[in-house]
Structure 1
Amino acid sequence: MRPEEPIAIRLEDYRPPDWLVDTVHLDIDLHPTEARVIATLKMRPNPDADGARAIVLDGDELKLSRITLDGKTLDPRAYVATPERLTIPRPPSGPITLEIETLLNPSTNTQLMGLYQSNGIYCTQCEAEGFRRITYFPDRPDVMAVYTTRIEADKAAAPILLANGNMTESGDIDNGRHFAVWHDPFPKPSYLFAMVGGDLAFIEDTFRTMSGRDVALKIYVEHGKAHLCDYAMDSLKRSMRWDEEVFGREYDLDIFMIVAVADFNMGAMENKGLNIFNDKYVLASPETATDADYASIEAIVAHEYFHNWTGNRITCRDWFQLCLKEGLTVFRDQEFSADQRSAALERIGDVRNLRAIQFTEDSGPLAHPVRPSMYREINNFYTPTIYEKGAEIIRMLRVMIGREDFRRGMDLYFDRHDGDAATIEQFIACFAEASKRDLTHFSQWYSQAGTPHVAAEGQWNAEAKTYRLDLVQNTLPTPGQPSKEPQVIPLAVALFDEQGRAMKTDEHLIVLDRASQSVEFRNIKSRPVLSINREFSAPIVLRTNATEEDTQVLAAHDTDSFNRWQAIQTLAMKWLVAHVRGAEANTAAPLLDALKNVLADRKLAPAFVAQALAMPTEGDIAGEIAKNVDPDAIFRARKALRGTLSEELRASLQAAYDTYAASRGPFNPDAKSAGERALKNAALDLLAANGDAKAIALAARQFADADNMTDRMAALAALMPHDIPEREQAFKALYDRFENDPLVIDKWLTMQAMVPEAATFDRIKALTEHKAFSFKNPNRVRALIGAFAGNPSQFNRPDGAGYRYLTETAVAIDPQNPQLAARLMGAFKTWRRLEPGRAAAAEAALKAVAKAPNLSRDLADIVGRALAAP
């Protein structure tokens, strides 16, 4: 039997809710197989709504036990209840009190949405539409209510009982049970509801706000893991202070809590006052966490905390406005990380990520606008476009109107819309008013999908001493949008002479808002070298008429760190693409010269040098080629380039390695120490690229002697591409030492899934039978199967076996966890750009999924969009 086609939800069909909910009182009696929820809803007709006044409440696999209206049992003929909906066709005309009792089975809730158990801990996940798995409710963001939650449980099994807001009452009751009551005074939508019950350890601290209030801070984890929470707590306190200083936002409750659980579909969730995290983004020690893990913990703790204002106090009117909270909050966490670490390095890292995941999404069958006009399954729109591209739009807005007007616009937004479920139009209107600018055209970034391509051609007129810059923009068709309008693109520009000296003391901002336009610079006495899109001022694909010599000048002298790094990437990409296309006589000399200069420049931060040494990824190269992509040819070209760098830069790489290996002291996760480790390990990675015996021995020794996970994993990464005994010995040693640490086992699984050799496919299948792996845990699945899907040469096997394996795995997971299954299928977002043989195999695998019976809405939606005509 085929499931019914998911219903298309359209932005143009939005209408206000017929009924509003003023207060929600939840009485939750926890039990592993028969939890009882009594929801008391004080409701009233919405004066802004039109049409029918029937009460229609959402459900999902619910079992109704009883229902009363204004204290009286409702006649069964007066309502219709199904697992998916509760309808009261003819309710009273005025305010009512509705009491609904439902029964749940948390122990069998493998979807990890609604109320479920994770290692014996009761927890909830309600975004986007999980609250309807707890009780019948108008489960939409624009229904905001004040919640009071009473939780009751066996005290021995769940001594900790938490919910949103402040605790108002607690105590013991009969039969070894106890209760706690939590009240959240701030109206919120149902997706921000949270509850936790279990036997948990915790660490605690306090934070004094800018107005002098003391806020209790607590992080709850499984027993035996409390000592791993210190960095998360430190990150939280720094986030709270930063939000006060930079955005003027003070925390509003008496307590802020984080709970870390092992089974979680997402990274973390910003429930008001009670954030629930995947434990990989809370737990850290030098022994088990890498520098990248520490940076992620810092950023994600900040992100979820910043949601208190951009997402909670001001939420989104409907799910089409999702970027209003997510894109804005990503921008805020990026700014926080830039201030805590390095603005230049944060920008490079953010753009690397944007290009790797969002640009590829924009160029494939899953492309969609930052604010989509239609969706069938909202879970599938928690995408890089919503998050990362949404953040880039905010950044462009600040570039265009300036930092002062941007801050005024943010202040106005907070003042005007506190307590609202807002829209993109309302958000942009605040900045238009603050800056006194018409931002109507700029707002098109939210409605038009695709990455703009900009061609920039400069012509110097020696006689007139002018430099004319001709700009042309074009955006390729995307699903549902065959033709595109010009975007508003802010381009930060500077000019240098051929010796790398700045020709103008100021940076220019050019706003390209037409299909083509020209800008003329005067009194330019010598041929200039153009530095454009500085700090990546706009998320575009840029092409210029710069010569290779121009690029070398920028690689050596550009005062903008991002564009200096970009110039090095451009030199590398030119070599790589030429080799993929068979131009093997192409020389790497310009790139080698640039990297020698960077390695010799002692004024550069080690972290920047490490980024410069990291060559474009296989995904980057595929994106540059764009059509008829052969992953094997790309792998060979990149391997050849790394081998060339290994040979030609060996002395400089060895010197860099020795310098920072010798300076090793006690581990510190701060930016300076992390940058030094990054350069040391980037040098080791290139030294070992050719399998040189001395370098392999050096990597094996570093693995054995490492006193921190960063150096240990870097050494394993250097060994990983080579089929040698040292690699297998390191894999075994890592498992033997950390077999009881799930987060390290995730690393162990991922590294094996990324081995670039044919035997990896069989290795993956064998590892699914390993006792350390479980298809029921999203982290394990992402670590192994998800990582394999990110192994370009092996997932894209010419025989199509990688595609079939992933799709078969997704179909098998789908009945248990539809979100996880659908997200695995994101690996097919670029299948159309593959060479014909692989593209045909990928299409066949997708079509096999489409024919499978009883697909979830999540999986059916992703597959349908992936197969839709381009």
Structure 2
Amino acid sequence: MLQLRDAEGPTTVIRRADYAAPAYWIDTVNLTFDLDPLKTRVLNKMTLRRNPDVAAQCLKLDGEELNLARVLVNGQGASFKMEGKQLVLDNLPADGTFELEIFTTCAPVKNTSLTGLYVSNDSFFTQCEAEGFRRITYFLDRPDVMASYTVTLRADKRKYPVLLSNGNLVASGALAGVGNEGRHFATWVDPHKKPSYLFALVAGQLVCREQRITSRGGKDHLLQVYVRPGDMDKTEHAMNSLMASVVWDEARFGLPLDLERFMIVATSDFNMGAMENKGLNIFNTKYVLANQATATDADYSNIESVVGHEYFHNWTGNRITCRDWFQLSLKEGLTVFRDQEFSMDLCADASARAVKRIEDVRVLRTAQFPEDAGPMAHPVRPDSYIEINNFYTVTIYEKGAEVVRMMQTLVASSNDPMGREGFAKGMTLYFARHDGQAVTCDDFAQAIADANPDSALARLLPQFKRWYSQAGTPRLQATGHYDAAARSYTLNFSQSCAATPGQSDKEPFVIPVNLGLVSASGAALLMQVQDSAAPSGDSHLFVMTQASESITFVNIDEEPVPSILRGFTAPVLLDFDYSDTQLLTLLANDPDPFNRWEAGQRLALRSAIHSIAASADTTGATGLNDAYIEAMRSVLRHPTLDAAFKELVLTLPSETYIAEQLDVVDPQRIHAVREAMRAQLATALAEDWQWAFEAHKDNGAYRPDALSAGRRALAGMALSQLCLAARDNADSVWPGKTYQRFKDAGNMTDRANALSALLSGGHALATPALARFHSQFKNEELVLDKWFAMQAGACDRGGQVLPAVRQLMAHPDFQLRNPNRARSVIFSYCNANPGAFHRTDGAGYQFWSERVIELDSINPQVAARLARALDRWKKLAEPYRSAARDAIGRVAGRSDLSNDVREVISRALAD
């Protein structure tokens, strides 16, 4: 068995195959908290019973950083011992049923890890997923132990007037007795059993927006959003998003709100985006607070998505939870799929839905595909881990969502071509079978298949589940052959998947491939599969199950252009040797918006790779050809295309995505080529950008809807391109106009776009704009995060960004212990600014190693996420590769690393 060693001794790999049910179940939990920042007292009274399916064992309870004061069994003192971090009790009552009382203390104000019980801005918060509850009390801290909770909170009323926990408030008031002057209490009872990771409490100075709603079933519910005093004006959008989520889940899946009240609380110190604790969701302020002066369109969209995500967990994650943490995608992948569908269903028209789908796929390709190809590659259902916090990944979330989306695709029928009805039937069966249980990914997949017995999913389920067990991104290779004499067109497919850590030979996946055929003139062609009686329309779903297969379409009068993987029906890499002419045809005519966008991306990527190869031997790059530029002009000027879609098409592939297409990566060469391509587009389309800006700059009263946001996005892109062209032409007109727009902006989106345009263009006016921005928003934490991030993520000219980043870390407003602020500077530089981070002198890597070590002593979860910035170091060309290896080695050489960081670093260094 692989073992790593940390400061406390050997660290054992935890394996899915070793799962065993607990020796005891916990039925009820009665917790009493006397809240004090320096010394919080926790009295935990539990009823337990022996699991009759497990041979008699001692009881082992998890605990970390607790001071143990008392242990009683059935009211009597009990013998116990400590084994590492576990409290071990033996000689328990023979009948296996007993009451256990544990009294402990902890110091929340010293808890910088932000897991368990901690203090933020003089208020108490908790974060218990995945294993934070053990920092509150000794417990069977695992997701398959579900209990009923009663929680009493006691505190100074002046300091902590609001006392919240899961479920329903059943009692509250002043505390009586000597020593309790000025103190009060609140008792909460959760009517639903839950695992410990869903426990939550909040206590502090908070204000609340309330809304009462009535469900379809006629039940009344109270919705509440709690924030710090002064932030109430930024809570309307979060409340609207919560109401929309409640309505949507009941309408789409028949899942009503099952609590008298549902609460959201925002805190500025939070490791994640938000947490779905039963009835008491705790959120990062970033995903709650918004008004037009402080939040961008992207912020509004993210709030809608995250509020929806956490609410949807109420059923997919809370009512049915994970048997063990290897099943994490059971709740996360499914709930990401649900929040994606929610956001698409809220879109007013088909084009907005398509934009949302493209945005989701772009995240998958730029973040998850590299993970699949790197040292941290793991299946959607992992087989092992050292630190579970490291597996809250884009593979679990985004790829997991794509696996669920494929299920919906594979239960489609002629009466339900999208599969929505079949999938909803599967969800209904899933809850009928498993409500109130802790189950597995297999249980979910089986329910969807069983509810649709005639579907492709039901027929192929054992093979389909390879998506859960096999890591890596499948590569789908396709070739086409037109037989003029037979009037037929054949597509030949083959699939493969590269080796990943611990997995070499992969078996074929089930890959649903949505297909279309487009004529050279741009017409959509009817598709009739060979040996079928009639055409099936202008699209066809081909389900690939073998290593190689083919499909032939007949009655085709000319060689078509194949439109493959429409809507991105499977998370695969598609190889098809399209000609530029074919791609231009798809870009101009494909009725599928995703493949229309994809054609433009392929053309740009082809130019970038060709230019990078050319620049290796010459001093110049070939750049974009005239046909591509004219195609972009046509998109920009198109009279009916949605503005948001235009902005996506005109955005070049990212440096990260370009790097993933290369075997050996020279980050500076990629950066130079992409910047040259941007400048070329800026100059060649100068008049078109001016038209686009003028046509989209004025949008009336601010609304965060998809149409208005798309117009602002395109106007912002046009402004950025005009500033870029002005730099190369030594023109001061557009920088001046941009600075004026920055000053006059009536919303944060327009203001941030203008500031970004000045920074991107490297204009002198960026300096006063930054100073003005800081002065105007110095008391707005989330806006200051944008201010920090824009500077740390700025285009690097002359190596000035790293010195600027070090200066930003010395700024009075920088706080390393706040995850949002740390991410705004350090992550914006190391993870999101490859042109500045990958320096030939290795100074960026040195900075990275310093920050990983520094953060690890404060907050290991944040440090581990930063550590992943160099996951793909082995692909780097020299001198980057050696410098990166040395930096990783400096971190690995530390003897006091957390398990979180050590696991990431060890995997990065592994052969």
AA aligned to 2:736 is: A
Alignment-derived partner of residue 618 in structure 2: none
In 2: Cα distance, 1:176 partner to 1:203 partner:
26
**2:311 aligned with 1:305:** yes
Give distance in 2, aligned partners of 1:835 and 1:335: 41
SS at match of 1:633: helix
Q: Aligned to 1:725, what secondary structure does the other structure show? A: coil
Q: Which residue matches 1:678? A: 713
C-alpha offsets along residues 684-720 of structure 1, whole Å, 9 cap, x if unaligned? 1222223252332232222121111101111111111
Q: Which residue of 2 aligns with 1:60?
A: 64
Q: Match of 1:742?
A: 781
Please tell me whether residue 531 in structure 1 is matched to residue 563 in structure 2: yes
C-alpha separation between the residues in 1 aligned to 2:272 and 2:63? 22
Aligned to 2:902: 860
Q: Does 1:695 align with 2:696?
A: no
2:399 paired with 1:393? no
Q: 1:317 is matched with which residue? A: 323
| Candidates 186, 191, 201, aligned match of 2:197 | 191
Aligned residue number for residue 160 of structure 1:
162
Q: What is the aligned counterpart of 2:76 among 66, 72, 91? A: 72
For 1:761 and 1:446, how far apart are their aligned partners in 2?
A: 41
The alpha carbon displacement at 1:591 in A equals 1.6
Which stretch shows the higher mean deviation, 822-831 or 493-502?
822-831
Q: Please point out which of 194, 214, 221 is paired with 1:208.
A: 214
Give runs of aligned pairs for residues 622-771 of structure 1, distance below 5 A: 622-625=659-662, 627-661=663-697, 663-690=698-725, 691=727, 692=729, 693=731, 694-757=733-796, 758-771=799-812
Instruction: Tell me if structure 1 keeps the 8 A contact 2:104–2:137.
Output: yes
Distance change >3 Å, CA 587–CA 618, structure 1 → 2: closer
Structure 1: distance between partners of 2:253 and 2:672? 48
User: What SS does the corresponding residue of 1:6 show, helix, strand or coil?
Assistant: strand
In the TM superposition, residue 642 of structure 1 has moved relative to its aligned partner by 1.0
* Residue-by-residue CA offset, 1:249-270 (whole Å, 9 max, x unaligned): 1010100000000111111000
Residue identity in the other structure for 2:433: R
State the alpha-carbon separation in 1 of the partners of residues 354 and 548 from structure 2. Answer: 30
Sequence identity (%)? 46
Alpha-carbon distance in 2 for matches of 1:279, 1:344: 29
In the alignment, the residues of structure 1 paired with residue 624 and residue 114 of structure 2 have an alpha-carbon distance, to the nearest angstrom, of 53
**1:459 maps to what in 2?**
481
Shift of 1:450: 0.6
Please point out which of 654, 659, 666 is paired with 1:617: 654
1:540 paired to 2:593: no
Deviations 1:389-420 (A, max 9, x none): 00000011111112122111111111111001
Equivalent position SS for 2:218:
coil
Correspondent of 2:829 among 788, 792, 804: 788
Asked if the contact 1:3/1:853 (under 8 Å) is kept, the reply is no
Q: Which amino acid aligns with 2:102?
A: I
Gap regions ≥5 residues in structure 2: 1-5, 413-418, 527-536, 616-620
Count of residues paired in the alignment: 863
**Shift of residue 310 of structure 1?**
0.4
**Structure 1 residue 83: Cα displacement:** 7.1
- 3-state secondary structure, aligned to 2:895: coil
Structure 1 residues 262-313: Cα deviation after superposition (integer angstroms, max 9, x where no partner) = 1111110000000000011100111110000000000000000000000000
Given the alignment of the two structures, is residue 588 of structure 1 paired with residue 625 of structure 2, yes or no?
A: yes
* 1:805-820 alignment runs, 5 A limit: 805-820=847-862
Alpha-carbon distance between aligned partners in 2 of 1:587 and 1:795, rounded to the nearest angstrom: 26
- Tell me how far 1:724 sits from its aligned partner: 2.9
Distance in 2 separating the partners of 1:260 and 1:37: 24
Judged with a 3 Å threshold, the aligned counterparts in structure 2 of structure 1 residues 586 and 265 are, in CA distance, closer, same or farther, namely closer
How far apart, CA to CA, are the structure 1 residues paired with 2:777 and 2:26? 50
Structure 1 position 428 matched with structure 2 position 430: no
Verify: 1:363 aligned to 2:370, yes or no. Answer: no
SS in structure 1 of the partner of residue 765 of structure 2: helix
**Which string of whole-angstrom CA distances, capped at 9 and with x for unpartnered residues, describes residues 654-708 of structure 1?**
11110112x3311111111111111111211222223252332232222121111
Residue 265 of structure 1: SS of its match in structure 2? coil
Q: CA deviation at 1:474?
A: 1.2
The answer (yes or no) to whether the contact 2:604–2:624 under 8 Å persists in 1 is no
How many angstroms does 1:2 deviate by?
Answer: 4.4
Which letter does structure 2 place at the counterpart of 1:24?
V
| SS at structure 2 position matched to 1:429 | helix
Tell me the C-alpha RMSD between the 2 structures: 1.2
Q: Is the 8 A contact 1:498 1:529 kept in 2?
A: yes
Q: Secondary structure, in 3 states, of the residue corresponding to 1:344?
A: helix
- Equivalent residue in structure 1 for 2:846, among 791, 795, 804: 804
Q: Distance in 2 between matches of 1:721 and 1:605?
A: 25
- CA distance in 2 between counterparts of 1:799 and 1:524 reads 58
Q: Which residue of 2 aligns with 1:551?
A: 583
Amino acid at match of 2:646: V
Partner SS for 1:797 = coil
Rounded to whole Å, the distance in 2 between the matches of 1:80 and 1:16 is: 22
Among candidates 766, 774, 791, match of residue 815 of structure 2: 774
1:3 is displaced (CA, Å) by: 4.3
Give distance in 2, aligned partners of 1:428 and 1:250.
23
Query: Would the aligned equivalents of 2:739 and 2:754 in 1 still touch at CA under 8 Å?
Result: yes
Match among 25, 43, 47 for residue 42 of structure 1:
47
Tell me, yes or no, if the aligned pair for 2:65 and 2:106 is still in contact at 8 Å.
Answer: no
Equivalent position to 2:276, from 270, 292, 300: 270
**What is the SS of the residue equivalent to 2:241?**
helix
Whether contact under 8 Å (1:64, 1:81) holds in the other structure is no
* Aligned counterparts, 1:213-252, within 5 A: 213-252=219-258
Distance in 2 (CA, whole Å) between partners of 1:5 and 1:609 is 54
Any conservation in 2 of the 1:63–1:83 contact (CA below 8 Å)? no
In the alignment, which residue of structure 2 is the partner of 1:472? 494
Kindly tell me: are residues 587 and 115 of structure 1, through their superposed partners in 2, closer, same or farther at Cα, counting changes over 3 Å? closer
Amino acid at match of 1:19: Y
In structure 1, C-alpha distance between the alignment counterparts of 2:249 and 2:422, rounded to whole Å:
18
Alpha-carbon distance, 1:723 to partner:
3.4
Separation in 2, partners of 1:260, 1:743:
12
CA distance in structure 1 between the partners assigned to 2:260 and 2:482 by the alignment: 63
Q: In structure 1, what residue type is equivalent to 2:738? A: A
Q: Secondary structure at the match of 2:194?
A: strand
Q: Report the Cα distance in structure 1 between the residues aligned to 2:577 and 2:853, rounded to whole angstroms.
A: 48
Amino acid at match of 2:509: Q
Q: Counterpart of 2:871?
A: 829
TM-score, length-normalised on structure 1? Answer: 0.98
What letter corresponds to residue 159 of structure 2 in structure 1? A
Name structure 1 gaps, 5 residues minimum.
Answer: none
Instruction: Give the aligned partner of residue 883 of structure 2.
Output: 841
Letter matched to residue 184 of structure 1? D
